[in-house]
Amino acid sequence: MSSTETSPRPKDIAAEKGMVNVQIDGHWIQVPRGTRMIEACKIAEKEVPHYCYHPKLSSPGNCRMCMVQMGMPPRPAPGADPAYQDDGYQEISWMPRPVIACANTVAENMGIRTNTDAIKKSRENVLEFLLINHPLDCPICDKAGECRLQEFSVEHGQGESRFKEDKVKKPKNVKIGPRITLDDERCIMCSRCIRFMDEVAHEPVLGFSDRGTHTTVGVYPGRELSNNYGLNTVDLCPVGALTSNDFRFKMRTWFLKETPSIDTHCGTGTNISIWTRGNKIFRITPRQNDDVNSCWMPDSHRLSYSCPTDETRLTAPLIKADGIHEETCWNQSIRGAADALKQFDPSEIAVIASGRQTNEELLMMRTLAAELETEQIGIVSRLQESDDMLISSDRNPNTTGAKLVLASDDPGASLCHILGNIRDGKTKALVVASEDLLEAASFTEDDLRALELLIVIDHQTSATAQAADMVLPGAAPAEKRGSMVNVTGRLQKLNAACVPPGDARSDWEIITDLILALSGDAPHEGPGSIDAVFETLANTVDEFQEIKLASIPDLGQVITETGVTIPLVERENQRRANGEIVG
């Protein structure tokens, strides 16, 4: 009796694990049952070029670029058993014509070939057709450097065109929405943008019209692409057909540095990449995290970035003299702030931290309040309506972190108490960080005027900063390292993409210096780095135990359960479970 007759066959071993055996370019691998052929090739580290396929969208199979050769075991004759070879697999009979890999799923004992002469010729032919009417204006196209048509043309194209007739010229520089421009002549009809607006944004305003080489993509008559998630179609476009008005013609992508970070405009904490050159931000794009934002982000958050060069940035410490702010140095401003705070009884001082601050900054604000011996500390709550997509009802990015660090279930509740004490004349000195109280809280100009001392730590000018006796310039979210906890309880990292302008510094350094000036301790007695601040956090707050700032994964890690879910992610998980999408 041979060993293959006594040992379980590969199909049985794979089936026990919910897998199937697939031979890809001569090598057998196991992949989960139901895997698309293109994903199986990815697992085998075999690239299959494609345009229309995207794992987060349905697969129409209309670009025909992902051609592969497929084979299956021959069907046994009626009444006969399948024939197995000595290695336990069945012989593969190859189909004479190629098939698309994006819309077909694998099966047991399937064979896939990605690099035969027939497949290479098939891809060359597809590319030749795609390029027939394409303008090939790579030197001026904004997509140059990250264009899949350009890349695949080099890797799989013929290198020259046999097309001698006039190209079909389509509309160029068409404004299809307030933030997006369409160069229709570059479109290769992949339909990714159409499917995104239909399946994810649920506002199907895009569609194809006409037929054959005259097919064009456009918005339905009387409509425009103004959806708050519309700029995701620019990310999806594999060529330069859709471009962002904000980024168009401003910078070549190969000059930009990419820094992974998180969005700070709401509690979702969308994962982003910040693209910079020098000390200037040129664009923000979403970074894939299937537990937070999938591959998407809202336009309103994407375009709300501030650069160190913005006119509203605070760049030097300010002290008010005779009603006018005058620039000063850090030593004088910190010493002046500490001396001024020492003039008040602890019961007369309040500290307003912010749900926009990092966990490390919140810890230092808590330490500052302890040094001032005041129990009046809170944050400004920002609760608005969720968009049922990615924008959370909590517009603070780190309310969850504030709850953990400040050890309060509702850190915003004490704000009313602080305001009441100011109006009663009990609180006379206030330290505020990263907040414009006139805009976000219920403060009035009279409330701020009633204070005898107002110290503001912020990176931008505001009405509160205008009213302050001392202004200490901090760092913007894109200029600092740190961590935040999103509404679902996931701890995530911010990374510095820029350097604070002028004399501005990271907030944790400013607060540390103020604490040292109040306590009279030597500088070396304070934390020497933000990693040291996080280490203190890990030693004092249970949820952060045994975590280091540098070890937080790029996709974050869950440290607490909040019971909150993200609607878009929930819908995507359901579509994946239904088999509508892959990723």
Question: What is the band of 32 on the pLDDT scale with cuts at 50, 70, 90?
Answer: very high
Q: Are 381 and 412 in contact (CB under 8 A)?
A: yes
CATH 3.40.50.740 in the chain: give the residue spans.
318-477+501-534
| Residue 25 three-state SS | coil
Which of these, 440, 366, 430, 361, lies nearest to 396 by C-alpha position? 440
**Mean pLDDT in residue range 530-536:** 97
pLDDT of residue 6: 67
| Residue 165 three-state SS | coil
What's the pLDDT tens digit per position in 155-175?
A: 999 888 888 888 898 999 999
CATH 3.30.70.20 in the chain: give the residue spans.
134-255
CA distances 469 to 313, 322, 403, 474, 517, Å, are 18, 10, 29, 16, 18
Domain 318-477+501-534 has CATH 3.40.50.740: yes
Pairing label, strands 482-485, 490-494: antiparallel
pLDDT of residue 26: 95
Name beta bridge partners: 261.
272
- Residue 547 token pair: 């975590």
What's the pLDDT tens digit per position in 280-337?
A: 999 999 999 999 999 999 999 999 987 777 888 999 999 999 999 999 999 999 999 9
pLDDT of residue 140: 92
**Mean pLDDT in residue range 533-547:** 96
pLDDT of residue 307: 77
Sign of CA dihedral 191, 568, 243, 66: negative
pLDDT of residue 165: 85
- Per cent of the chain over pLDDT 90 is 90
**List of residues 6+ apart from 407 with CB closer than 8 A:** 541
DSSP per position, 320-354: EETTEEEE--HHHHHHHHHHHHTTS-GGGEEEE--
Which residue is associated with the tokens 């304070």?
A: 526
pLDDT of residue 413: 93
pLDDT of residue 1: 43
Q: How far apart are the first and last CA of the chain?
A: 45
Domain 134-255 has CATH 1.10.3720.10: no
Question: What is the band of 3 on the pLDDT scale with cuts at 50, 70, 90?
Answer: very low
Q: Are 279 and 294 in contact (CB under 8 A)?
A: no
Angle at 514 between CA 512 and CA 340, to 5 degrees: 170
CATH 3.10.20.740 in the chain: give the residue spans.
10-75+84-115
What is the chain's mean pLDDT, rounded?
94
Rounded-to-integer distance, Cα 218 and Cα 224, Å: 9
**Mean pLDDT in residue range 535-562:** 97
CA distances 113 to 55, 97, 99, 109, 227, Å, are 21, 12, 11, 13, 41
What's the pLDDT tens digit per position in 492-510?
A: 999 999 999 999 999 999 9
Rounded-to-integer distance, Cα 312 and Cα 301, Å: 18
What's the pLDDT tens digit per position in 112-135?
A: 999 999 999 999 999 999 999 998
Q: Say whether pLDDT at 350 is over 80.
A: yes
| Residue 105 three-state SS | strand
Q: What is the pTM of this model?
A: 0.93
Q: Say whether pLDDT at 196 is over 70.
A: yes
pLDDT of residue 310: 80
Which residue is associated with the tokens 């694998």?
A: 106
What's the pLDDT tens digit per position in 227-263?
A: 999 999 999 999 999 999 999 999 999 999 999 999 9
Longest dimension (CA), the chain: 102
Pairing label, strands 19-24, 110-113: parallel
CATH architecture assignment, domain 10-75+84-115: Roll (3.10)
- Cβ atoms within 10 Å, residue 545: 11
Q: Are 304 and 332 in contact (CB under 8 A)?
A: no
- Cβ atoms within 10 Å, residue 290: 16
Q: Say whether pLDDT at 213 is over 50.
A: yes
